[in-house]
Amino acid sequence: MEEFNIPKSHPRYKSLLERELIVRGFKEGLVVPQGLIAHGRGEAFDYIIGERTIPEAAHAIDVSVAYLLLAKHPVISVNGNTAALAPREIVDLSKETGAKIEVNLFYRTEERIKKIIEHLKKYGASEVLGEKYIEGVPGLESERRKVDPEGIYKADVVLVMLEDGDRTEFLKSMGKTVIAIDLNPFSRTAKMASVTIMDNVTRALPLMVERAREMKAWGKEELGKLTSEYNNSVKLSQYVEYIMKRLSEEAERLRE
């Protein structure tokens, strides 16, 4: 990624690279200005957790992959930020789990939908849903109510990222399992989801691809054990405890 001219030795290389990807996505019309703000909120939480995948999140990743592999109609819901940050990983995860990809936008324009679809196709996606839609999420007033009848509408398991809590709630009330990747464990999305992965999409998605490659060989029973033993409220409490521990350790260091 020399094109961005960030020295590899820079201590914040990865974070700077992600900013460049988001800014490029913005210039290309994939990302909306509000997406830049959402990214910043994510960065703040990422800093607090140490910009790494914590063990509790790695476990949530396994549970999520199990859900995707067991699903009849899994769908990965993609927005501008995620398409700009991790297009290849989205396509790879779709291939490894058999999940469909659907573009679903809070700030929906038909032009942006088309651009994101084209972008994902450049990274190897054979089919990307999102253009054709029905108003398929009853009660939801935002543009996110527009879903493909063969995609999110029909899905039993939906993976969402940088999501608003509202749609998560409605998708849940439609009986779907919702997996959310969200760095903010206090967000409504994180609280409403069936499984919350508190991690950056740029780390969580490649890990999900890796785990899907391994877990594909597992039996249904083994996968089902992971999902049936899972409790998201317990998971969220572990995330918050992790943050508290990190903050107290930091305070301690400052006092030394």
- Residues marked as binding for ATP? 19, 41, 182-184, 188-189, 200-201
Q: How far apart are CA 6 and CA 9, in angstroms?
A: 9
Q: How far apart are CA 64 and CA 234, in angstroms?
A: 15
| Residue of the chain from 26, 45, 230, 242 that contacts ligand ATP (CB under 6 A) | 45
Residue 39 site contact among Mg ion, ligand ATP, none (CB < 5 to 8 Å, cut-off depends on kind): ligand ATP
Using CB under 6 A, which residues numbered 182 to 211 contact ligand ATP?
182-184, 187-189, 200-201
Which amino acid is present at 242?
Y
What are the DSSP E strand ranges found in the chain? Answer: 74-78, 100-103, 134-135, 146-147, 157-161, 177-181, 195-197
Smallest gap, in angstroms, from Cβ of residue 232 to ligand ATP? Answer: 14
What are the DSSP E strand ranges found in 64-130? Answer: 74-78, 100-103
Q: Is 189:163 a contact under the CB 8 Å cutoff?
A: yes
The answer to whether residue 77 forms part of the interface with Mg ion (CB under 5 A) is: no
Smallest gap, in angstroms, from Cβ of residue 205 to ligand ATP? Answer: 9
The answer to whether residue 12 forms part of the interface with ligand ATP (CB under 6 A) is: no
Q: How far apart are CA 150 and CA 155, in angstroms?
A: 8
Residue 89 site contact among Mg ion, ligand ATP, none (CB < 5 to 8 Å, cut-off depends on kind): none
Footprint on this chain of ligand ATP (rule: CB under 6 A): 38-39, 41-42, 45, 85, 162, 164-165, 181-184, 187-189, 200-201
- Residues lying near Mg ion in the complex (CB under 5 A) are found at 187, 189
